Structure 1
């Protein structure tokens, strides 16, 4: 049984390592895709600038003889940009944090439906409603403002699309640092209400909404302490289809848990995971009993091997009994003298082999 538990633990650790490796690979692929998109967009913009400079030079040199550039293949697409230029580049973490600092940072305080004013561009000073936001690029799309003509290639127009136009005018995303929230405030003295540009928003207390499962917070105008309400979100329209399950079928109680059996039948785990999978952490009682029985058999066999009397063990046992019967030996004077002679003889032999003088003789001196 211990082997089964060890195998399950090792399998779980292996699964965690593979998951971490897949996450790291996925993160690297996403970063690589962002770098390639930024490089392609920069290359496209650089080529466009170079081509416009060449065309301007030709127009200045040729004058009335300069060729028309809004004919031929570019008759309908002259003055447009590619779809890759619609969005801005993916910003680095430091740049993104600096831009998002004024609008709540990680918890963005500008959402779809807010009224904002543009601070830069050809539509500077105009007010519009936010259609979408992009945290990665720190930009938002404002309805009807900062419009641009985009050339849509044929391969991007699908058969089910109702709009088949190759040239479309759409709002270009603008950086969040170039927009400010517009909120109607009432003057407490005069009672007059007018739109006010909110320079900065801060996050209020946060709480967890158990109905939606999301974290919520309030946005506050610093200094005034006024809470800015979130824009109203229209509920999604749900349409019934023939294949939908009826609510009366869903709410019918077909299973009543009791204290005599678990709420989930034990056979369900075999449907969710292979019965013999190494990742399985729960097993059938029969399987556990079989493995426990095997462990007990191994322990009994090991104990039996220790208790079994082999010929070698029998000889050692007899020798131990004989030594025990003899008791402890005593050394006599004759034995001690004999041992002293043996030690002295061995010492003389070892000194002679090493080239050392014998005991009792002084070393010879050599005059120099």
Structure 2
């Protein structure tokens, strides 16, 4: 079963890597689509600006002869904004901020689970519909204006502020023919990027209430569940860097009327399917799980129930075989014949009497240790080995750390301590001394006999050819003979010279003696 689980885990990792790669390419595709839309919008804007500059120059150059541009099919739409400026591309999904439940889908609020409780900073997720905001970046006619947020789009990263950035947008004929015939344009608010606005909060001061622009917003705990149908997030927002709480705008709650055909809450919360979690009673019927998850998919986390049951039983059987111990016939007989094992222990004494337990005949005494006999091939006996172990252990633990104040005194007392240890624990007894001496002599002899061989192997002359070796041997012999001849001649001449000097000195001494005797 472990092998199956390992294979399953490897397959899941492969599927996870594949999903990550697909997510990476998906992000790149979203970025390309966003950039493509931005380039198209910039091209249209540049074309409109160039045409307007050209028309303005023609009007200035021609003066009263300038043509009337509000004619033709676009009559009544001169000076209006193209609808393309109302359409913006959606941001890549990984750039969309705010809580996962801060979106509305088909007018219904998405539920927020325990794992999705959001905490973060910035405008995304902390500004909702109904907040008063101030535009801090943008054109001159828009910058500094304050309004209420009417629409919020986190996918596009923009907000629509009431009565701010208003423009006349042309209405194409295909949108509403009846309205297009009567009115060629419509005044609407063009969305503003959410990063270009700041929240306006009415702060209570000792002098009263005054509007304050909050530069940084922070969202976090506590998380409270709002009323059903409300667009209020679950988290609480604060002024960035402080614990000053900023209340949410008053939500627009929906009023629901209970009808006769509505399902009661008790019926909704009633459990209609009960099951027992077990390997023999799976939560899903057979065949349903294969419809939910493909049978041979790599990211499948479970297997067939019957297959898993057989594998678990097989693993338990193999583990039981591994835990079994080999029991000899002697152990089996001892287990059945020992009365203490059968009765559960030593019999209790009655009236304070001492109970004498007699061993059963044929009972094999339990031996917990085995005596170690002296082996003939060992140099030292067990006593010598114990003494050597004690000697080395106590000697290694004699000196303390170098930081100890008595370190120098203890270091000076090491020789005396060694002598006392050798007296207490002899390293070699009289029985082991001959063997130790013989082994030492054998090792010394072997080392001496191996030394010339090692030196011969290390000699570079062994690596040359035979002819070259003979040639060098002849040279060595000739040089040796010349050296001997030269030394012999040198010592011969020296001996002759020294002998003449000694004879002259002897004669001079004799002459002096003769002279002295003559003088006397």
Q: TM-score, normalised by structure 2?
A: 0.45
* Alignment correspondent of 1:251: 269
Deviations 1:9-38 (A, max 9, x none): 332122112211111111111111121122
* Alignment correspondent of 1:109: 126
Aligned residue pairs total 297
* Alignment correspondent of 1:216: 235
1:34 aligns with 2:29: no
Deviation of 1:56 after TM superposition, in Å, equals 1.0
Within 5 Å, which residues of 2 pair with 1:276-315? 276-288=296-308
| 1:66/1:18 CA distance change after superposition, 3 Å | same
Deviation of 1:128 after TM superposition, in Å, equals 2.2
| 1:282/1:210 CA distance change after superposition, 3 Å | farther
| 1:84/1:263 CA distance change after superposition, 3 Å | same
* Alignment correspondent of 1:131: 150
| 1:33/1:152 CA distance change after superposition, 3 Å | farther
Is the contact between residue 70 and residue 76 of structure 2 (CA under 8 Å) also seen in structure 1? yes
* Alignment correspondent of 1:24: 24
Unaligned segments of structure 2, at least 5 residues: 98-119, 228-232, 316-463, 476-520
Deviation of 1:229 after TM superposition, in Å, equals 1.0
| 1:46/1:211 CA distance change after superposition, 3 Å | closer
Pick one of 253, 276, 283 that aligns with 1:264. Answer: 283
Deviations 1:325-353 (A, max 9, x none): xxxxxxxxxxxxxxxxxxxxxxxxxxxxx
Distance 2:205 2:255 in 1: 39
Q: Which has the higher strand share?
A: 1
Unaligned segments of structure 1, at least 5 residues: 98-102, 296-353
1:48 aligns with 2:158: no
1:198 aligns with 2:218: no
Is the contact between residue 121 and residue 218 of structure 2 (CA under 8 Å) also seen in structure 1? yes
Within 5 Å, which residues of 2 pair with 1:168-207? 168-176=186-194, 179-189=197-207, 192-193=208-209, 195-203=210-218, 205-207=220-222
Deviation of 1:107 after TM superposition, in Å, equals 5.3
* Alignment correspondent of 1:73: 73
Deviation of 1:167 after TM superposition, in Å, equals 3.2
1:356 aligns with 2:356: no
Q: Which has the higher contact order (CA 8 A, sep 6+)?
A: 1
* Alignment correspondent of 1:229: 247
Is the contact between residue 88 and residue 173 of structure 1 (CA under 8 Å) also seen in structure 2? no
* Alignment correspondent of 2:167: 148
Distance 1:231 1:285 in 2: 53
Is the contact between residue 87 and residue 172 of structure 1 (CA under 8 Å) also seen in structure 2? no
Is the contact between residue 146 and residue 172 of structure 1 (CA under 8 Å) also seen in structure 2? yes
Q: TM-score, normalised by structure 1?
A: 0.61
Distance 2:311 2:241 in 1: 67
Deviation of 1:291 after TM superposition, in Å, equals 6.7
Distance 1:8 1:46 in 2: 57
Q: Which has the higher helix share?
A: 2
Is the contact between residue 207 and residue 216 of structure 1 (CA under 8 Å) also seen in structure 2? yes
| 1:86/1:8 CA distance change after superposition, 3 Å | same
Deviation of 1:153 after TM superposition, in Å, equals 4.4
Is the contact between residue 109 and residue 201 of structure 1 (CA under 8 Å) also seen in structure 2? no
Deviations 1:225-274 (A, max 9, x none): 75321112223577999x99876653343223457776824534334224
Distance 2:156 2:145 in 1: 22
Structure 1 residues 138-147 or 112-121, which shifts more? Answer: 112-121
Deviations 1:282-326 (A, max 9, x none): 33353246679999xxxxxxxxxxxxxxxxxxxxxxxxxxxxxxx
Deviation of 1:71 after TM superposition, in Å, equals 0.9
| 1:132/1:285 CA distance change after superposition, 3 Å | closer
| 1:358/1:228 CA distance change after superposition, 3 Å | closer
| 1:126/1:10 CA distance change after superposition, 3 Å | closer
Distance 1:87 1:221 in 2: 32
